[in-house]
Structure 1
């Protein structure tokens, strides 16, 4: 029987897991700051609800477009650029955009969640057949865990400054992750096709 620690002992599996866990963890941190952001800007309460819906809307559109229109090999090559697309709009929150601009920025950032589609085949290729069930459980458990850590970490950053500044820091963290993905995922684990 393959255990979670056996899977985590394999560098390639750890790398692909981190590539999948980190961007959503950071994005959850940004999403958790939407209500404080609108409060600090003095925006109406309804704006927070609208802004909370824009990131998932972008995510849905990104998954549909990337999943339907791009070949799997192309999706794999676009992991880092799509991750960067998730982070770049969030950096613009340092400019304290109004509700419409913030909604557009969040929707565009949501498109970047499609980076995960490009990591599916490398993840499947990295795990032994006997450990696939355990690996997908580990992926899901890790994803839920880190999505709880992101809001805590960036909430603490917001306590030191502002929600807008913390959201911008999220964007920088995602961009750094995209750079790491471009270097590590694409160079160490090139496509076999």
Structure 2
């Protein structure tokens, strides 16, 4: 056999090609399909309700801080109850947890849809609805690796991620126009219906499974499970870095929380504020849909992990240019590019699954999700408070600069711990 110009024999020392799962084979699985469709319905209603709440509060107060405060309530509750409630996903059957959470949220959002609901009551209901998202999200995230193995998990995560962002894109962009015609209260009623539809889909499409912790006598307390989960997540350098990558979104999601006051600076027509705000809120999710498709479809598993740091920096860098106060079209492009970079979360999620034992996934995912929502909520609250004296453009630029510095630091940390994870992913992709 003839040698090549490099002196190596053809085929020697060549790694086997990494197999990439297709979307078709993932969608063909009935249980995944049920989770996917149910999630898409409820998320679409959620984004519609967020626009409704944002417009409702801004019209009543004309305050960026009040608007951001209510918007932040859709992220902050996990700080208090998320870590504890997420452990339910490892303590009880995950299907049952999801169904109960959906039904309870449907009831509470229906109460929010009653015209004339007091502002404080509205805030309490929003808080409780989001609080229940912690055990629901933990149960769904822990169940997904049981349904999808290897690169199928990444393909399924990409589909869910694109669905999440697509729901945001439609809920935000179309939501502004819909609310102009149907009013915010009817939009909230529609959100309640999507939660109930999600529960029915899970009942019919996801089979029953036993709880991960099967022995009642051997079940640890919720506090013990929370403490053990925190030790697992933050005691491992790889997991700790991956968690910080996930929480980086607190910087680049901040613009969504002040999109309404930002829109007020971009248009002189008060009747167009809700429409422009919907366009702004939908720009990043649209970018993430495109980024997630390209990242999962055309980039091999190991290269996704190598590109994480650069992609994370891409989410924040474009926001810095908002300091120049560009027109609406330019702002939409900048926020779209930021959303494309957000596709790095797919790789971070897949790597996290590789490093967490199956019986602790609910608690681990719950802790990460709680911190994820908390970082977004705190960022939005700070951004809303700063937008009044500084202006929304400068606040968005400052968030982008702080996020870029943080992403660069995480990229350096990840280089020192990614080797073992890459080998695991490569082994699964070639098996």
Query: TM-score when scaled to structure 2?
Result: 0.42
Which one of 15, 23, 26 corresponds to residue 241 of structure 2?
15
- Find the counterpart in structure 1 of residue 276 from structure 2: 47
Query: When the two structures are aligned, how many residues end up with a matched partner?
Result: 192
Are 1:169 and 2:398 counterparts?
Answer: yes
Are 1:107 and 2:336 counterparts?
Answer: yes
- Find the counterpart in structure 2 of residue 180 from structure 1: 409
Task: Give deviations 1:50-76, integer Å, cap 9, x for gaps.
Answer: 222111111111111101111111111
In the alignment, structure 2 segments of 5+ residues that lack a partner are: 1-219, 427-431
CA distance in 2, matches of 1:100, 1:40: 13
In the alignment, structure 1 segments of 5+ residues that lack a partner are: none
Q: Which moved further from structure 2: 24-33 or 106-115?
A: 24-33
RMSD: 1.9
Deviation at 1:160, TM superposition (A): 3.6
CA distance in 2, matches of 1:97, 1:49: 18
Q: Contact 1:79–1:181 at 8 Å: present in 2 too?
A: no
Which one of 232, 237, 252 corresponds to residue 27 of structure 1?
252
Q: 1:11 to 1:154 in 2, by over 3 A?
A: farther
Are 1:157 and 2:386 counterparts?
Answer: yes
Q: Contact 2:318–2:338 at 8 Å: present in 1 too?
A: yes
CA distance in 1, matches of 2:351, 2:264: 42
Q: Decide which structure has the larger Cα Rg and report it.
A: 2
Query: Whose helix proportion is higher, 1 or 2?
Result: 1
CA distance in 2, matches of 1:164, 1:111: 20
Correspondence 1:44-123 to 2 at 5 A? 44=269, 45=273, 46-123=275-352
Query: TM-score when scaled to structure 1?
Result: 0.90
Larger relative contact order (Cα-Cα within 8 Å, sequence gap ≥ 6):
1
